[in-house]
Structure 1
């Protein structure tokens, strides 16, 4: 069995990962840098700083042990004064004897507990007397006190005698370097992602039938994809133009004999066969118009912001002039970016489809909470089985025992309506209507 090379990521961790290309690219670069910086910092503290600090603490503890031993050998005031002067001159230690004093019983916690542990260990190894120290009270000094006979020997030592005080400089440089590398990574990644975003915008605009001034730029692979997209767009446009020109030519060629036949039948004696022939000619003319409308699609018409209420009312008025009764419920002030003629044709197809198969039809137009508008055409007809909704959208599809089949239909009404909606960045969906029949719902972006 072949082994899968795909890395399995737990669902909980996957939800925390960024979803955008920019975020993922940034994570790919920053995560290894952060891990490396942490590893280097840890190695520095463990192998260098901690080692140096331990040696410094041992040296300081040795000097303090010498001072305590010297005091215990001769605790006279003159000897203590001599000891303090020698420690100050040669060891930078400030020593004072506090007669009758005791060691403090508490100590304030330090932010650098590891450093305090080093000093604690060093003093434990060198001193037999009880001791106490504080590294937080003074910025540059450490307060160390040792219990001796008749009092406490208080010693002030420079902080750099016990700790490697330059460690924070190293950490600062690490942080600055990390921030600089992150800023450079963000700049370069953002430039690369912007090229992909522009390519996506151009593809989206082309899908809506809009012109988009797009030029390949970015990385070599992105430019290659962009040039392939431009070539594909040119081929698709050329194909659409050829198809439209072909069907327009066929439509024009067919209209000429149809017109002659209509003139001849208009001059002929009325009879039953003549009326049937006129019906056939009307059906042929309607089919030609439908084919041409489907082939023409959205070409030649620019999308623009329009008042949908006026367009919808116009479609409903046309249907009512044909004898239909259509109820409307249209919210005020509805606007959307559409191609007016294509929108009227698509909505008229849906309304006519409902009128042909139902007794009651209702058109509802509302604004969506998330932005955009919804236009619903409901009826109380027989509807379409749910498992055949997608089949109904196929061009030239005429479902048996369904509302999509009528005397003069060619199975293009729903296909034209969905192409119109998707060409504007929306969609057309079918569902069961609350009236008992079919609901055709057009969703358009704002």
Structure 2
């Protein structure tokens, strides 16, 4: 048989090992304990139990040899009675003669072969006559028979005279001690792993934009230090986000004031040739301010709730129709998910607006994934985006004017905002080629 290389065995073993910290920590405790238990049990049976059994069997064989030789010296009933009485009083042996009987042909062997082999070797070395024995005919006794000319000398001996019968007590106590030690170890490991799991849950929730109360770090000193560092980092990031949002909101407010004055003056001014162009510039500037503020603020503080995906796509479809494109919606009526509605609506609105701006047909679809999540797709029949520029399209303020003339009205934040929303829900957005011939944007969200 050809042996596999060491690298292959390492990969196979790696795939079989637990991947979680709980499983690996448990393996670190359980495996050495099991190895120790097997080693101690083997050493006990090999060095102690077999030695004691061999000595007991040798002693019993010596008593059998004495009874057989004593009877052979004087094969009378009177002598047999004396031998039986002495054997019963001094050796706990029951001796009887079956006149005219012969040894059985069949052998009765017990489940532990070492007992029969040890007793057989002892009897052969100490008894000169043909001998037969059985360790299974009676549960608490050993049946030994010696052939004599007058018949079969039968000796019934207690089992503990031939076998160390209390060995199982040692094994039972060994297992009980092992279980107790493993139980204590499992409790301590579980407590430490739970602290790490709690930290991981808090980090994952913060990554999804969920606001949770501070928790008290517990567990080992290193785990508490990591949890405290995470909480401090989370507070600093939240302060930075709040300051950035407040700054942009203030800038937005300050910019809206002169824009409102310009719009009012433009409305009150007499008609002139450039009025429409100036109004369009004002609209574009206001739209840019809205996009800047939406990108900086996001919807991190919004609470998640169960919403109907069909309703979300219906709202996005109305936006597409208002933009002058033909829309097709395909979604199961009962499909729902726990989402932040405003942020998902903003992401779908951005994707639908991009699709309507660059195509005449737009397809909105949603389906449940086998893994338990959902997938929402927005497709168009426009020019699309080259495969090597998909990641570039997600960069903030990236317009890709040469390939798609993307975000002609905006500042290149539509796809960036949509991906930020998807990732804050624990999912992501991918781009690809649509069956309609244009771009296919797929939002995958966990269940």
1:74-153 matches, within 5 Å, as: 74-153=74-153
Q: Cα offset for 1:105?
A: 1.8
1:294 corresponding residue in structure 2: 295
SS at match of 1:53: helix
Give aligned pairs, total. Answer: 440
SS of equivalent residue, structure 2 residue 211: coil
- Residues 49-101 of structure 1, C-alpha deviation per residue, up to 9 Å, x if partnerless? 21111111111111111111112212122222222122112211111111222
1:73 aligns with 2:73: yes
Shift of 1:408: 1.2
What are the superposed Cα offsets for residues 263-307 of structure 1, whole Å, 9 maximum, x if unpaired?
A: 333344444434333322222211111111100111442221122
- Name the CA distance, whole Å, in 2 between partners of 1:108 and 1:88: 25
Alignment of 1:356-375 (within 5 A): 356-375=357-376
Partner of 2:319: 318
- How far 1:412 sits from its partner (Å)? 0.8
Query: Are the counterparts in 2 of residues 392 and 404 from structure 1 also a CA contact under 8 Å?
Result: no
8 Å CA contact 1:353–1:404 kept in 2: the answer is no
Q: Does 1:48 align with 2:65?
A: no
Looking at structure 2, the residues matched to 257 and 160 of structure 1 have their Cα atoms a distance apart, in angstroms, of 106
| 1:124-179 deviations in Å (ceiling 9; x for gaps) | 21122221111112122100111221321111111111111211110110011011
- Show the 5 A alignment for 1:138-177: 138-177=138-177
Q: What is the deviation of 1:421? A: 1.4
Contact 1:359–1:379 under 8 Å retained in 2: yes
Q: Are the equivalent residues in 2 in contact too, given 1:337–1:424 (CA < 8 A)? A: no
Alignment of 1:254 onto 2:265: no
> Equivalents in 2 of 1:308, 1:109: separation in Å?
73
Q: Secondary structure at the match of 1:137?
A: strand
**SS of the residue aligned with 2:440?**
strand
Aligned CA-pair RMSD: 1.8
What is residue 351 of structure 1 aligned with on the other side?
A: 352
Equivalent residues of 2:57, 2:122 under 8 A apart: yes
State the Cα distance separating 1:346 from its structure 2 match.
Answer: 0.7
Q: Which one is further off, 48-57 or 368-377? A: 368-377
Tell me the equivalent position of 2:396: 395
Q: Distance in 2 between matches of 1:390 and 1:9?
A: 39
**In 2, Cα distance between equivalents of 1:295 and 1:9:** 51
Which residue pairs with 1:338 in the alignment?
339
Aligned-partner SS, 2:444? strand
In 1, Cα distance between equivalents of 2:135 and 2:265: 115
Report the counterpart of residue 280 of structure 2 in structure 1: 279
Check whether the contact 1:391–1:397 (CA below 8 A) recurs between aligned residues. Answer: yes
Structure 1 residues 280 and 140, CA, compared in 2 at 3 Å: closer, same or farther? same
Structure 1: stretches of 5+ with no match in the other structure: 1-6
Q: What SS does the aligned partner of 1:146 have?
A: strand
1:58 matched to which residue of 2? 58
Q: Counterparts of 2:381 and 2:406 in 1: how far apart (Å)? A: 16
Residues 303 and 337 in structure 1, CA contact (< 8 A), matched pair in contact too = yes
- Work out the CA distance in 2 between the residues paired with 1:406 and 1:444: 25
Alpha-carbon distance in 1 for matches of 2:118, 2:404: 88
Q: Mean Cα displacement is larger for which, 280-289 or 51-60? A: 280-289
SS at 1:401 equivalent:
coil
Q: Partners in 2 of 1:65 and 1:324 — Cα distance?
A: 110
